[in-house]
Amino acid sequence: MSAYRIGNGRLGEAEFIFTFDGHKMTARAGDTVASALLANGVEVIGRSFKYHRPRGVTSSGPEETGALVTLGSGARLEPNVRATMEPVSEGLEVFSQNCWPTPTFDLWSVNSLVSGLLPGSLLSAGFYYKSFMWPAAFWHRLYEPAIRRAAGMAKPPREADPDLYDRINSFCDIAVVGGGAAGLSAALSSAQSGLRVILFEENSDLGGQLLNEPPDAINGDLEQWRKSAVVSLMAAPNVTILTRTICWGCFDGNTLAAHECIDGKVRQNYHKVHAGKIIIAAGAIERPMVFANNDKPGVMLAASARRMLNHYGIAAGHTLVVFTNNNSAYQTAFDYRAHGISTLVVDSRCKPPAKLVAACAKQGIQLQTGGVVIQARGWHGVRKVVLADLSSDGKSMTRKRVVACDLLAHSGGWTPQVQMAAHGGMVPIYNQKITAFLVDKLPNDTWSVGAAEGENSLYAGIQQALTAARLACDELGQTAGEIVLPPRDLDGELNIEPLWRVPAAGKQMVDIQHDVTTDDIMQAHLEGYVSVEHLKRYTTLGMANDQGRTANVNALAIMAQCRNQTIQDTGTTRFRPPIAPVTMGAFVGRAVGEYFQPVRRTPMQAWHERFGAVFVNVGLYRRPQYYPRVGETLDDAYKRETTHVRQKVGICDITFLGKIEVVGPDAAVFLDRIYINMLSTLPVNKARYGIMLREDGFVYDDGTTTRLAEDRYFMTTTTAKASSVLAHLERCLEIEWPELKVRVSSVSEHWAAMSVAGPASRNTLQNAFEDIDFASEALPFMGVVHGQYKNIILRILRISFSGEIAYEIYVGADHGETIWERIMEAGAKFNIIPYGLESLGALRIEKGHVTGSELDGRVTLGDVNLEAMASRKKWFVGQNLMQRPGLKNPNRPRLVGLRSVDPKVPIATGSILVTDANTEARANSEGWVSSMTYSPELDSFIALGFLCNGLNRYGEVIYAAYPVKRRIVAVEVVSNHFVDRQNQRVKG
Amino acid sequence: MREHTEFTYGEDANRQKPEIDAPIEDWNTYIYERDNVAGYHMEYWHHAFGCRAWIKVKRDTQTHAILWVGLPQENPEIAL
């Protein structure tokens, strides 16, 4: 093909410069990248996915299979853009893709040659699955990188996307999907009711197939109607027109998802559209004919070639051959011939309608009936085609001959765009007359009209649209209006006689973008694939970014031929959104970087920041991880903080804990059912450690519960489980035991919390809050006291996570920073320091306490050596199934301590525990490492882990293997209580 | 009318909890065996981002159409 500008079409006069692979080219306002490249005579735009076959422009719309380009560079680089959908702007950088060094001289095209020599084996369906299986280790080191380099589309950008995207909730009474003649009519008629209408059109211009019609003064009567329809809609205050906006999904409750390209300050919008009624006027997509080399540059869908001519003013070639099995492609022949272009029509039907035959004769168009194109020939683009006569049974061919041409326009019929209608789960039914699938039962509040409903005639399609608009408005209590009809009808009668493939050999592309051929489909059939869903996944047919818009019906028909069954019985794959590529940016909207998710701050956050804390994200919180002094690393800092707490005193922000108040006369009964241990016997002003199980008998969560009054408890949960525990309590109260008089409410945000731990913690607090008695007699271990500091109410629990004497101070959130600063001030003479999450972890591992790393949802009470805690005097959630034989198995991995034999060697969390250092770790696992730290007190790396029969193996030396990094460490099995095993310190 | 994003799916509401002293097999059935219904299904939902009530919902698992909503102890007056 050597295309050239032949007229103005609907474009503006202004010309500007863009570049293609660095070469300067001119474009006109209104050009797409595809039309501009054609106007500059560019034939080969890129190379194909698998075989690196040369590819050019195959269409003028969203169904584009060949002209995929990369736009821009650096952070704004965007790969795999359909050139037919992207408007050209001044200075736009366009790049070919998937070729090296250039699209016309591409070294990877050897794939195509190799494949040609060994048909049906190399690179055909299932090739990767079958050829690169063994040895397994070769896959990610050798095969996958090599395949990835050769196959695929474009390179992605390496930098963060600098552009803005928005998510928008849009509301309307009537959503019209598609801005062709039917969509325009539905919108015009609906708009007169005064209802809010949104019209979605994925192209830049409204009009749909009307844009294929000539816009000039002589033949431009339809253009006048199109223009006035657009002007009326733009003037209507209740109508929103969204062009370059694809509706890509239809969801429950009349919700549509739409993706709008703006390229302004905001680059793209994601609309969540809440519609009262939906009118789908999404049109139809022309299907290719399936013959050898039907993917060669210069082979173009017939209506698209016509759109290039009439809308963009581009003749896509000098000599045209039209290959068709229906009436519609004749319009392309007529319009090209009218521009003086030599035209031959090859019609596979023996008897096309007489009026078309007569029109060809009148206009000097050669017509070959009962003929087929067997093959397109040419190195980069079409230069010749091989024709033949088709026998009457359609199975053999005679009289082969070669004809020169540089543009082959083909039409295998039209496929209604039923995706949106089918998203509700409706199964499309094959329709013999239009030779495509239609949805016969639409969801409520939804109509499908025009070519999307298989109605290709202009007037009939508009009548469907007007009926839908009238019914939609009626149901909404309003009245749709009349519209002016176009000055003449366009006959949409196709008289199609399907020819699903030309019965000849060669690379007949079915899914052009994914390089799937008829041979691939036949091979899948021979290998026993009978389901279309499997065919799709095995051959990757329909899985490219055009979602097989042009390919699916042809593929199903070919499969049906193979299986000797009907197309209906073969069925379609299920339609799922999105129907077109949507950028990740549009989904994410503004939720990027620091706006990715909200940040929860504790009342002491500002203090931590002032004090130079290094933070770590834990859920939505940013928790102080450590407070480095000048020159300190993380390791230096947490070792120092840990040592300091053991020897002196430290303070830690623990506001992150979940806090729940449980109130009511039945609160004690309720908590006895929730926890494995007794809470009803807990005296007022005492705290108790509790564990809850899930119904399946595994450990759910742990925490401390305080009894504030006979009917009032204050529960803490782990940070991670705070919200799910609350939902669990609410579920139990409302569904299981509605008779219990109990209320639960989250008070997590109401209380600031801090832990003061270390031998000097009592003196620190006594100094800070003189009115409260911190003596052991007044406030013993697990005791609770309420007091005041300058009218600020404090709740103080004497509990310990570190194993040292420690207190948890709870105070109203507004006073958190005041109390924190008071403690820091009063503790100065005892050398108080703040400590972070890292040393909190080190302290609790030294003490052998479990956290989320151990309570991972897969451990039982026995696994964490706490089965003795479970009360036998009452029933509790999880009691029944914790008795399962499998969970009682004494060989289950149990919680143990692990100590590096060489104290300087760390033990990686996640390591597998094995007895023999020389065995394959994964196959001989006897447990795993759940947490590790350096213990300043023991001057050694230590860890917690789970080991089969672990309690009977203290003193044994085993190995912690980390196969990913090929590390193995000798460790001694010890008690999980590394420090103060008699638990005396906390009671001091 | 509330946004569906305010609600979180809870569980199958058809399950009958065994007596506390029921055999462990009954508890196993209660916890692990579920019908995967194509059609109307009674289930519990949690108004997690709202009033935090648990509600009972009869929902078509194929179309997501909601036929009936009530409190956990309620049941539809007529067979639906």
Domains, chain B, in order of start with CATH, read 4-70 (3.30.2270.10)
Axis crossing angle, helix A221-235 with helix A181-191, rounded to the nearest 10: 40
Please give the Cα distance from A949 to A971 (Å, whole number). 16
How do residues A479-533 score in pLDDT, each as one tens digit? 999 999 999 999 999 999 999 999 999 999 999 999 999 999 999 999 999 888 8
pLDDT over 60 (residue A120): no
Mean pLDDT comparison of A499-513, A555-569, A662-676, highest-scoring range: A662-676
A492 against A117, higher pLDDT = A492
pLDDT over 60 (residue A115): no
pLDDT in the model for residue A49: 83
pLDDT in the model for residue A590: 92
- Average of per-residue pLDDT across A6-19: 93
pLDDT in the model for residue A915: 94
Interface residue of B21, B27, B57, B62 to substitute, partner A, most A CBs within 10 Å: B27
Are A738 and B46 within 8 A, CB to CB?
no
- Torsion-angle region of B39 (φ positive above 0: left; ψ -120 to 50: alpha; else: beta): left
Please give the Cα distance from A685 to B33 (Å, whole number). 43
- Average of per-residue pLDDT across A359-369: 96
CA distance B67 to chain A (A): 14
Sketch the domain layout of chain A as residue ranges. Answer: 4-100+288-411, 164-285+416-475, 508-570, 658-746, 890-987
- Average of per-residue pLDDT across B41-57: 96
CA distance B37 to chain A (A): 16
Q: Which residue has the tokens 């690169």?
A: A132
Pick one of 1.10.760.10, 1.10.10.1100, 1.10.3720.10, 3.40.50.150 as the CATH number of A508-570: 1.10.10.1100
How do residues A611-640 score in pLDDT, each as one tens digit? 999 999 988 999 999 999 999 999 999 999
CA distance B24 to chain A (A): 6
pLDDT in the model for residue A152: 60
Interface residue of A272, A446, A876, A880 to substitute, partner B, most B CBs within 10 Å: A880
Q: Which one of B22, B32, B54 has the shortest CB-CB distance to A735?
A: B54
Q: What angle do CA A335, A487, A201 make, to 5 degrees?
A: 75
pLDDT in the model for residue A530: 87
β-sheet bridge partners, residue A280: A177, A448
Please give the Cα distance from A646 to A803 (Å, whole number). 9
- Average of per-residue pLDDT across A828-832: 97
pLDDT in the model for residue A157: 87
Q: How far is residue A823 CA from its own chain's centroid?
A: 48
- Res. A122 pLDDT band, cuts 50 70 90: low
Alpha-carbon dihedral sign for residues A925, A926, A931, A935: negative
Strands A436-438 and A255-261: unpaired
pLDDT in the model for residue A146: 63
Q: Does A724 touch chain B (CB under 8 A)?
A: no
Alpha-carbon dihedral sign for residues A9, A12, A13, A18: negative
Mean of pLDDT over chain A: 92
β-sheet bridge partners, residue A707: A713
pLDDT in the model for residue A135: 57
* A4-100+288-411 and A164-285+416-475 have identical folds: yes
CA distance B39 to chain A (A): 13
Mean pLDDT comparison of A569-583, A740-754, B60-74, highest-scoring range: A740-754
Q: Does A218 touch chain B (CB under 8 A)?
A: no
Number of residues that make up chain B = 80
Please give the Cα distance from A233 to A294 (Å, whole number). 40
Contact A808, A796 (CB under 8 A): yes
Contact A458, A485 (CB under 8 A): no
- Average of per-residue pLDDT across A185-210: 97
Fold of A4-100+288-411: FAD/NAD(P)-binding domain (3.50.50)
Beta-carbon contacts of A128 under 8 Å, excluding residues fewer than 6 positions away, are A147
Q: How many residue contacts between A and B have a Cβ separation below 8 Å?
A: 46
- Average of per-residue pLDDT across A176-186: 98
State both tokens at A120: 């049906």
- Torsion-angle region of A599 (φ positive above 0: left; ψ -120 to 50: alpha; else: beta): beta
Q: Where are the alpha helices (DSSP H) in A318-457?
A: 330-338, 354-363, 419-422
Are A735 and B44 within 8 A, CB to CB?
yes
Residue A361, Cβ neighbours under 10 Å: how many?
11
How do residues A888-944 score in pLDDT, each as one tens digit? 898 999 999 999 999 999 999 999 999 998 888 778 899 999 999 999 999 999 999
Alpha-carbon dihedral sign for residues A99, A102, A104, A106: negative
* Helix, coil or strand: residue A697: coil
- Res. A263 pLDDT band, cuts 50 70 90: confident
CA distance A445 to chain B (A): 14
* Helix, coil or strand: residue A850: coil
Are B24 and A883 within 8 A, CB to CB?
yes
Annotate A615-672 with DSSP letters as a single string. Answer: EEEETTEEEEEE-PPTT--HHHHHHHHHHHHHHS-EEEE-TTSEEEEEESTTHHHHHH
How do residues A93-113 score in pLDDT, each as one tens digit? 999 987 766 777 666 665 555
pLDDT over 90 (residue A721): yes
How do residues A923-937 score in pLDDT, each as one tens digit? 889 999 999 999 999
pLDDT in the model for residue B80: 53
CA distance A678 to chain B (A): 18
Half-sphere exposure for A395 (CA within 13 Å, toward CB): 2
State both tokens at A177: 């999907």
pLDDT over 70 (residue A136): no
* Contacts made by residues A9-12, CB under 8 angstroms, sequence distance 24+: A9/A215, A9/A309, A9/A310, A9/A311, A9/A312, A9/A313, A9/A314, A10/A205, A10/A211, A10/A215, A10/A311, A10/A312, A11/A312, A11/A313
Of A152-161, A467-476, A523-532, the one with minimum mean pLDDT is A152-161
Q: Does B66 touch chain A (CB under 8 A)?
A: no
Q: Where are the alpha helices (DSSP H) in A162-269?
A: 181-191, 221-235
Q: Where are the alpha helices (DSSP H) in A923-974?
A: none
How do residues A57-84 score in pLDDT, each as one tens digit? 999 999 999 999 999 999 999 999 999 9
State both tokens at A1: 């093909």
Residue type, B66: I
CATH of domain A658-746: 3.30.70.1400
Please give the Cα distance from B28 to A127 (Å, whole number). 45
pLDDT over 50 (residue A653): yes
Q: What angle do CA B45, B48, B53 make, to 5 degrees?
A: 65
Residue % of chain A over a pLDDT of 70: 95
Q: Which residue has the tokens 């844009």?
A: A211
Please give the Cα distance from A858 to A845 (Å, whole number). 19
State both tokens at A350: 């023996």
Contact A396, A370 (CB under 8 A): no
Q: Is the ipTM of this complex over 0.95?
A: yes
State both tokens at A212: 């294929």
In chain B, which residue's Cα lies nearest the Cα of A696?
Answer: B31
Are A881 and B27 within 8 A, CB to CB?
yes
In eight-state DSSP terms, residue A793 is E
Contact A270, A165 (CB under 8 A): yes
Pick one of 3.40.50.10470, 3.50.50.60, 3.10.350.10, 3.30.420.10 as the CATH number of A164-285+416-475: 3.50.50.60
Contact A170, A271 (CB under 8 A): yes
- Average of per-residue pLDDT across A229-244: 97
Are A736 and B17 within 8 A, CB to CB?
yes
Of A89-93, A506-510, A544-548, the one with minimum mean pLDDT is A544-548
- Average of per-residue pLDDT across A15-23: 95
- Res. A753 pLDDT band, cuts 50 70 90: very high
Q: Does A738 touch chain B (CB under 8 A)?
A: yes
How do residues A939-970 score in pLDDT, each as one tens digit? 999 999 999 999 999 999 999 999 888 899 99
pLDDT in the model for residue A124: 65
pLDDT in the model for residue A436: 95
Domain A890-987 matching CATH 2.40.30.110: the answer reads: yes
